[in-house]
Amino acid sequence: MTDSGNTTAAVTISGITKRFGDVVAVDNIDLEIADGEFFAMLGPSGCGKTTTLRMIAGLEFPSEGSLKIFGDEVGTLPPNKRPVNTVFQNYALFPHMTVLDNVSFGLRMQSTKKREAASRAQEMLDLVQLGEMSARKPSQLSGGQQQRVALARALVNKPKVLLLDEPLGALDLKLRQEMQTELKSLQRNLGVSFVFVTHDQEEAMAMSDRIAVMNEGKLLQVGPPSEIYERPANRFVADFIGQTNLLDATVEDEDHIILTNGDRLRAPSPHRPGTSVAMSLRPEAISIGERGSTPAEHEATSLVGQVESVTYLGHAIDYVVKIGWIDLEVRGDATAGTRRFSAGDSVSVWWDRTSDWVVAD
């Protein structure tokens, strides 16, 4: 191995492209997933995240590029020759086998003795709290239980990387939240890399160490959830992850941008003067006060407007503030003693310079 360091990445994707006929599903992506990492691939449907996962699993072969698992090239190896296992979107449990036979299937295919396979499968079922269900057929289990069986069936093989394709998509909200916590602690205990495909950004943020955001076959940004949220690489990422206000603007110089209405704001960006950009402002980063109450240090990042609508959420209040040429979403404080505003009130809004972020298109 030409590997220089002592840490080999679990999955190394370099220059991978996947074409289906004329359609480019995955467009020249590079990606490294570390050993023991909880990694999410996030994007809208059709963005290429599932295709990428299937290429790691060996269910699709890349049209171009190289794919390594712990340093070994696996580009065109069939799925049964790869040290990875998959939890499929609809679990894909074998309906004609008992739960125990489902879970021991992988071990049996690797020529493990029947009794040993059964006892290891039983252990794994106990671990996911389904020890009692081993004699049942998958159709006799609830969705959440089927999900656990699918997890046990993959993990019993001690994969070097576990792939999960929208594993929580079919569960209801409460169960999904439970499984999120469970998956995370399972991953931490096993120390195995989990590569997780989802279109749900909250799920990705809550569970992963790092997120890869994809759109139209391209990899847009890879980073920890906080970085993706606070420092989105472009307009798409800013818009896709969480709620945000995108203010169209043009770069004036290193430190300033000009909004579409002509207002000049202090906002440093690395883009060249004249570039059309957008300023991303999260609703919770904006403060609201009576007109003219902007603290002096925020004068350079302040705008005035009128409250258009108010939505009371209990823990917070969502205001829509009309600035004239754009409506700003502002998340206001709802704790006792804070000034609340009603529709029609004249207000000032301001934010800290560190919380805005200029993105290119």
Partner 1 sequence: MATTKELRGGAKWALSLNAWLVYFFFYAPIALLVVFSFSDDNLVGRWGGFTTRWYGEFLDNDGVQNALGNSIRVAILSTVISVVLGTMAGLSLERYRFRGSRMFDALLYLPVIVPDVTMAVMMLIFFTSLDDLIGLQITRGFSTITLSHIAFSISFVSIVVRARLAGMSETLEEAAQDLYATRWQTFRFVTLPLILPGIIGGALLALTLSLDDVVITQFVSGPGSTTLPVFVFSLIRRGVSPLINAVSVVMLAASAFLVLLSLLAQRSRGGSVT
> Can you give the binding site for partner 1, defined by CB under 8 A?
57-59, 78-80, 84-86, 88-90, 92-96, 105-106, 109-110, 137, 139, 153-154, 157
Helix (H) or strand (E) holding 249: strand 245-251
Residue 64 CB, nearest approach to partner 1 (Å):
22
Determine the Cα–Cα distance for residues 33 and 6; give it in Å rounded to an integer.
15
* Choice between 60 and 356, CB closer to partner 1: 60
* Choice between 110 and 142, CB closer to partner 1: 110
Alpha helices in 58-142 (DSSP H): 99-109, 114-127
Q: Which long-range contacts does 198-203 make (Cβ < 8 Å, 24+ apart)? A: 198/40, 198/41, 198/42, 198/166, 198/168, 198/169, 199/42, 199/43, 199/44, 199/45, 199/49, 199/166, 200/168, 200/169, 201/42, 201/240, 201/241, 201/242, 203/40, 203/168, 203/176
Residue 327 CB, nearest approach to partner 1 (Å):
44
Residue 93 CB, nearest approach to partner 1 (Å):
8
* Choice between 95 and 344, CB closer to partner 1: 95
Q: Is 50 helix (H, G, I), strand (E, B) or coil?
A: helix
DSSP class per residue in 289-356: EETT---GGGGGGEEEEEEEEEEE-SSEEEEEEE-SSSEEEEEEE-STTS----TT-EEEEEE-GGG-
Residue 354 CB, nearest approach to partner 1 (Å):
46
Read off the amino acid at residue 286: I
Task: Let me know: does 280 contact 236? Beta carbons within 8 Å.
Answer: no
Residue 19 CB, nearest approach to partner 1 (Å):
16
* Choice between 17 and 89, CB closer to partner 1: 89
* Choice between 153 and 199, CB closer to partner 1: 153
Residue 137 CB, nearest approach to partner 1 (Å):
7
* Choice between 194 and 236, CB closer to partner 1: 194
Task: Let me know: does 274 contact 251? Beta carbons within 8 Å.
Answer: yes
Residue 94 CB, nearest approach to partner 1 (Å):
6
Indicate the pairing of strand 11-20 with strand 23-33.
Answer: antiparallel
* Choice between 95 and 274, CB closer to partner 1: 95
Residue 53 CB, nearest approach to partner 1 (Å):
11
* Choice between 80 and 354, CB closer to partner 1: 80
Determine the Cα–Cα distance for residues 44 and 216; give it in Å rounded to an integer.
9
Determine the Cα–Cα distance for residues 138 and 152; give it in Å rounded to an integer.
13
* Choice between 124 and 278, CB closer to partner 1: 124
Neighbour tally for 193: CB within 10 Å: 26
Q: Is 40 helix (H, G, I), strand (E, B) or coil?
A: strand
Determine the Cα–Cα distance for residues 187 and 161; give it in Å rounded to an integer.
11
* Choice between 81 and 115, CB closer to partner 1: 81
Residue 90 CB, nearest approach to partner 1 (Å):
7
Determine the Cα–Cα distance for residues 200 and 166; give it in Å rounded to an integer.
9
Residue 200 CB, nearest approach to partner 1 (Å):
21
